[in-house]
Amino acid sequence: MNLSSDPDRSGQPECSSRHGGRHKATSGVHFTVSVVLPAGGTGERTGLVTPKQFYMFLNRPLISYTIQAFERLSWIQHIVVVVAEESIALTRDIVQRFQHTKVRVVSGGATRHRSIFNGVQALDPGESAATPDVVIIHDAVRPFVEEDFLLEIAMAAKENGASGAIRPLVSTVIATTSEGYLDHSLERGKYRASEMPQGFLYGVIHQAYQKCSEFDFDFGTECLHLALQHTGTRAKLIEGPPTLWKVTYKRDLAAAESIIKETLCRSACVTSDGSKRARELGRCLQKVMASLDMELDVLPEPIGDASRLSKEWNFIKLFVNGSGLSEVEETVKALEAANRALLHPVVVVWVRLDTSDGMSVSETGAGHLPLMELASAAKLQNILLYGIHFLLSEEDAGFSEGSVKRLAELTYTLIHDRNALLAGQMLCA
């Protein structure tokens, strides 16, 4: 899944491939590609009042995640977002707030096909956006689409006129009689679920919609079928990754949030006060975090490498000598100045080692108030700052496995959960 770490949107972003590896995608797309994102539905099946495309994940609406999955790709020209008339102002506000630059918002229709057609027409030569060679259609409620798969879809659409994502069926499809009995069952191996994205030569999808009937507009569910029926174009079908699934039910919202959180907590950058003990603690932490699937990059410098500020979502700052809160403040300020937390909350965990006896915990009250103040200001910039008082007994000078595990698990939980309510808290490990 992509969660672009490219806030300035320059160059070719790194993306994770559906085969599990990470690579720099080189597009090689020598034709123009634009996107239509239908987002004009009400999301009835979620049972919620807010349409699912506007549901918030970590302070950001679902639709912004989907837009970003396309916007970060240099070979995508324009993105037309189709929403219900009453959601136009809200959508424009989202586009502005999250600094999406390729988006045009247009109003949708009563059905998905009507909304998509409005989006396709908005890319017409008479309209302001230039007509692309290929148009990719993708439901706004499928946020986890990766560059390598979009490339396959775009290339196949250019070559064949139409292309679409498919997945194996998870259940067998059966036909029922009007009395509710089994009529017949389909041979599962022969059928596939049609998913999104789908790609079309602009002329193919435009013509298909111009020719389609009112019945198609009202009851049709398949753009590839319209292209076949009305233009004779047989789509190339490509099996996509499971992450292409559509957020449909309430449980899908929880699953989407969990994927976003998992992706954001895969790595962290650790800096220390430069002391031998703090560096040693960094190395111990690195080993335990690896077993939790979090990769730690332990930097030798006390302040750390400024270039990490533009890449990493998570920072752990270790201090053995003195409080270190002023260094933490510097990191927070640098993150703010770089507008680093525009798309995702950035987590900073301040760890203070204390080898004196447990009685001194109350003394941490001295650092707690400044931490709370700093954290409240940082939270306004979407930076979540937490404090951990790491208590070690005199005998545990060598960092026992148990004590490091305690620190690692607490740090991992703070980074993974990104709980804004806990920001500013000084916890004990």
Ligand X SMILES: O=C(CO)[C@H](O)[C@H](O)COP(=O)(O)O
Ligand Y SMILES: Nc1ccn([C@@H]2O[C@H](COP(=O)(O)OP(=O)(O)OP(=O)(O)O)[C@@H](O)[C@H]2O)c(=O)n1
Binding site for ligand X (CB under 6 A): 112, 139, 194-196, 221-223, 246
User: 318: which strand partners?
Assistant: 272, 351
Structure tokens belonging to residue 189: 């191996």
* Minimum CB–partner distance for residue 103 and ligand Y (Å): 15
Which of ligand Y, ligand X, none does 383 bind, CB closer than 5 to 8 A by kind? Answer: none
d(CA 227, CA 271): 56
User: At CA 302, angle to CA 298 and CA 308, rounded to 5?
Assistant: 55
Which residues from 120-159 bind ligand Y, rule CB under 6 A? 139-141
Structure tokens belonging to residue 111: 């059905």
* Minimum CB–partner distance for residue 255 and ligand X (Å): 16
Which residues from 94-113 bind ligand Y, rule CB under 6 A? 108-112
Q: Which residue is nearest to ligand Y (CB)?
A: 41
Cβ within 8 Å of residue 118, ≥6 positions away: 82, 106, 107, 108, 109
Burial of 275 (0-12, 13-18, 19+ CB in 10 A): middle
Q: What count of other Cβ atoms lies within 10 Å of the Cβ of residue 28?
A: 8
Which residues from 25-54 bind ligand Y, rule CB under 6 A? 38-45, 51, 53
Which of ligand X, ligand Y, none does 108 bind, CB closer than 5 to 8 A by kind? Answer: ligand Y
Cβ within 8 Å of residue 386, ≥6 positions away: 347, 348, 349, 350, 375, 414, 422, 423, 424, 425, 427
User: 81: which strand partners?
Assistant: 37, 105
Which of ligand Y, ligand X, none does 194 bind, CB closer than 5 to 8 A by kind? Answer: ligand X
d(CA 255, CA 263): 12
- Going by C-alpha positions, the residue among 379, 276, 277, 273 that lies closest to residue 336 is 379
Which of ligand Y, ligand X, none does 111 bind, CB closer than 5 to 8 A by kind? Answer: ligand Y
Residue 374 near ligand Y by CB under 6 A:
no
d(CA 377, CA 412): 23
Residue 82 near ligand Y by CB under 6 A:
yes
Residue 325 near ligand Y by CB under 6 A:
no
Identified binder of ligand Y from the candidate list 246, 266, 311, 333, rule CB under 6 A: 246
* Minimum CB–partner distance for residue 139 and ligand X (Å): 5
Q: Which residue is nearest to ligand X (CB)?
A: 194
Complex with ligand X: residue 114 or 266, whichever CB lies closer: 114
* Minimum CB–partner distance for residue 138 and ligand X (Å): 9
**Residues touching ligand Y, count (CB under 6 A):** 22
Burial of 159 (0-12, 13-18, 19+ CB in 10 A): exposed
d(CA 221, CA 246): 14
* Minimum CB–partner distance for residue 365 and ligand Y (Å): 50
Complex with ligand X: residue 64 or 115, whichever CB lies closer: 115
* Minimum CB–partner distance for residue 200 and ligand Y (Å): 16
Which of ligand X, ligand Y, none does 222 bind, CB closer than 5 to 8 A by kind? Answer: ligand X
d(CA 296, CA 282): 9
Task: State the pairing for strand pair 134-137/103-107.
Answer: unpaired
* Minimum CB–partner distance for residue 84 and ligand Y (Å): 7
Residue 218 near ligand Y by CB under 6 A:
no
* Minimum CB–partner distance for residue 114 and ligand Y (Å): 6
Complex with ligand Y: residue 84 or 296, whichever CB lies closer: 84
Provide the 3-class DSSP secondary structure of residue 108: coil
To which residue do tokens 């439901």 refer? 139
Residue 91 near ligand Y by CB under 6 A:
no
Complex with ligand X: residue 112 or 344, whichever CB lies closer: 112
Which residues from 277-296 bind ligand Y, rule CB under 6 A? none
Complex with ligand Y: residue 51 or 282, whichever CB lies closer: 51
| Cα-Cα end-to-end distance for the chain | 32
Complex with ligand Y: residue 104 or 112, whichever CB lies closer: 112
- Alpha helix (H) residue ranges in 343-400: 365-380
Complex with ligand X: residue 139 or 273, whichever CB lies closer: 139
Which parts of this chain interact with ligand Y (CB under 6 A)? 38-45, 51, 53, 82, 108-112, 115, 139-141, 246, 248
